[in-house]
Amino acid sequence: MFFIIAAFTAPPVAKESVTEITNQENTPSTQETTNSTVNTPTESNQEPSTADSASTAIQSTAATAVPVATKSEAPANTQSVTLYNVIKVVDGDTIDVSINGKTKRLRLIGINTPETVDPRTVVQCFGKEASDKAKELLTGKKVSLEADSTQGELDKYSRLLRYVFLEDGTNFNLYMIKEGYAYEYTYSTPYKYQVEFKAAQVYAKANNKGLWSPSTCNGELKAATQAQTTTTSQSSTTFGACGTKATCSQMTSCEEAKYFLNTCGVIKLDGDSDGTPCESLCSD
């Protein structure tokens, strides 16, 4: 009786398949190898004219008004976040921070709030409310900053162009738009968070937030009403016009010193950059 033993061998793997697998393993992803080139201006002007601001404020859009998240990683692509002390809030879109021991003025990217301290124009509708909200959230606080290569480093007034993030990760620029304290503002070229900021404006407008409410400004960039300017006018009448005093020896009270620091921007009244002017007057 004969036994026939048959040897079976596995079919060879196709050469093409091996080559394909090897190539997949050794080829980096497109995201890792593709470098985008951005033309970065060395200087830009983030301060809109009244006409440009009005046009931007009332620009219509077909986007759907949906809730917009205001928190994100702050700033992006950072392992450890550096925090900076806010020295002063000038208005809703301009602040002073301490960087490496020096006070630097920042113009916030992508937003424009109604004016309150610009000598070239009148106090605008909802300007005081926007300024007060910024002071509420930022005065005496620490923030992280993010630059945007698409917007340049400085505007024409030599102010640093930055996004500002609160310690909890809230994008302050975005928050101001979403809650109706600021208009979305594109100066000349698209910026990193433009899509989110435009969506936030749609949301604020649809929900009659802040300056979009018919009972306030109805979305119009216009002069404030008499009631809205009363506080600013009273301070000016009581303490004098900006530019008339510049030293602590000229101040008669802490309130006056704070007016010239916070409203008029006399930074040297706060020699130690702690947010409190003229320590001898405001020590309590």
pTM: 0.59
Beta strands 142-146 and 102-108, pairing class:
unpaired
Q: Quote the pLDDT of residue 281.
A: 87
The stretch 133-139 carries a mean pLDDT of 94
For the question of residue 153 being annotated catalytic, the response is no
Q: Quote the pLDDT of residue 268.
A: 79
Please name the residues in contact with 40: beta carbons below 8 A apart, sequence gap of 6 or more: 149, 150, 152
Mean pLDDT comparison of 16-25, 148-157, 218-227, 274-283, highest-scoring range: 148-157
Q: Which listed residue (47, 105, 129, 159) is catalytic?
A: 159
Confidence of residue 120 (pLDDT cuts 50, 70, 90): low
For domain 50-223, the CATH architecture is: Beta Barrel (2.40)
Please name the residues in contact with 141: beta carbons below 8 A apart, sequence gap of 6 or more: 85, 86, 166, 167
The stretch 112-124 carries a mean pLDDT of 77
Q: Which listed residue (105, 107, 146, 184) is catalytic?
A: 107
**CA–CA gap between residue 102 and residue 166 (Å, rounded):** 20
- Asked whether residue 172 carries a pLDDT value surpassing 60, the answer given is yes
The stretch 213-231 carries a mean pLDDT of 70
Asked whether the bond before 75 is cis by omega within 30 degrees of 0, the reply is yes
pLDDT digits (tens, 9 = 90+) for 71-110: 655 555 545 889 999 999 999 999 999 999 999 999 999 9
Q: Which listed residue (47, 105, 115, 129) is catalytic?
A: 115
For the question of residue 162 being annotated catalytic, the response is no
Q: 238 versus 71: which is more confidently predicted?
A: 238
Long-range contact pairs involving 223-229 (C-beta distance under 8 Å, separation at least 24)? 223/122, 223/123, 223/124, 223/125, 224/114, 224/122, 224/123, 224/124, 224/125, 224/126, 224/127, 224/128, 225/125, 228/123, 228/125, 228/126, 228/127, 228/128, 229/123, 229/128
Residues of the chain with CATH 2.40.50.90: 50-223
